[in-house]
Amino acid sequence: MTQSLNSTPLTSPPFIFGSSALKRCLLRLCAGLILGFCINSTTHAEQVTAAVAANFASAIKQLKPVFEDETGHHLTASLASTGTLYAQILNGAPFDVFLSADNKRPQQLVDDGLAINNSLFTYAIGRLTLWSRHPDLIDDEGQVLSKGKWPAKAVERIALANPKTAPYGAAAIETLKALDISEAMNGMLVTGQNVAQVFQFVVSDNAQMGFLAYAQVLALPETERGSYWLIPTALYTPIQQAAVKLKNGNGNIASDAFLAFLKSPQATAIIEANGYLNGNSPIETNPHANKNDE
């Protein structure tokens, strides 16, 4: 006697293990779980917008993909001189975090209530370099800066970043004063908005030498590094580059994730490979440096 589907006893199992019906059910379940995971991950991925000092351009370019792969968040970086970025933040620019080339302006933003107090830390210590695209112009000891040497080397202009807005420019002025040659170079100095513009001055030969971040020199292929002098840190105030979360980034999980990432071993390795010292590194300071010159 044939039994119809409707008369199947309630105690009979609806599926037999290994049946096509069970497989279809499991596939639907797995697909639902995967879709739910993807939707959940997308929902929690956020955007962080960072104001980044121009000297850190090469490092941030390398840090960006690592951060995004590690966290799933997205990073947008805007590069300019520290002073320019600071002014933009004061005028309401919608940045979430600020990677400065000094620690003075981030602290000022905290004091003014525009940045989060307990978020400030030193992410790198910058090193100042005198650079020329000409391989034989600058010696390892910086003797080219000795009085009377630059005319013999046909040096007519030396470029530096604006010392009022760029900490590397302030460090360059301190170096010239420490070497007692600042007055002798009156009329020779060419000022750029930031170290990126200083680099362009030297590349185009509008200046024969320029004060740059060491990171900019290391970013060049070895065959294009010309000549340079890595200036002793004792000649200028330590360039302690501080990061801080801005008020606009409060509540943005991507902002917290990015600042935490900057302290990670992966980020530290990239930062050091780009010519910076670790934020906790001991450094020799210049007792004669005047921070008021910035």
Per-residue pLDDT, 64: 98
Q: What residues are paired with 228 via a beta bridge?
A: 131
Domain boundaries, the chain: 46-120+239-293, 128-235
Q: Write down the architecture of domain 46-120+239-293 according to CATH.
A: 3-Layer(aba) Sandwich (3.40)
Nearest to 225 by CA among 216, 236, 233, 234: 216
Half-sphere CA count of 21, side-chain side, radius 13 A: 5
Model confidence pTM above 0.85: no
CATH 3.30.70.270 assigned to 128-235: no
**SS3 breakdown of the chain: % helix, strand, coil, rounded to 5?**
45, 20, 35
Dihedrals phi, psi of 224, to nearest 5 degrees? -115, 10
Do the domains at 46-120+239-293 and 128-235 have one common CATH topology?
Answer: yes
pLDDT at position 82, please?
93
Residue 184: per-residue pLDDT: 85
Confidence at residue 90, expressed as pLDDT on a 0 to 100 scale: 97
Render pLDDT for 55-84 as a digit per residue (tens, 0 to 9): 999 999 999 999 999 999 999 999 999 999
Per-residue pLDDT tens, the chain, 294 aa: give them: 433 334 334 344 443 344 555 555 455 555 444 444 443 444 478 999 999 999 999 999 999 999 999 999 999 999 999 999 999 999 999 999 999 999 999 999 999 999 998 999 999 999 999 999 999 999 988 988 887 677 667 889 999 999 998 999 999 999 999 999 988 888 899 999 999 999 999 999 999 999 999 999 999 999 999 999 999 999 999 999 999 999 999 999 999 999 999 999 999 999 999 999 987 655 444 444 444 333
- For residue 25, give both structure tokens: 């059910």
Amino acid at the residue 286: N
pLDDT of amino acid 153:
75
Sheet holding 97-99, edge to edge: 74-80, 47-53, 97-99, 239-245, 121-126
The pLDDT of residue 112: 95
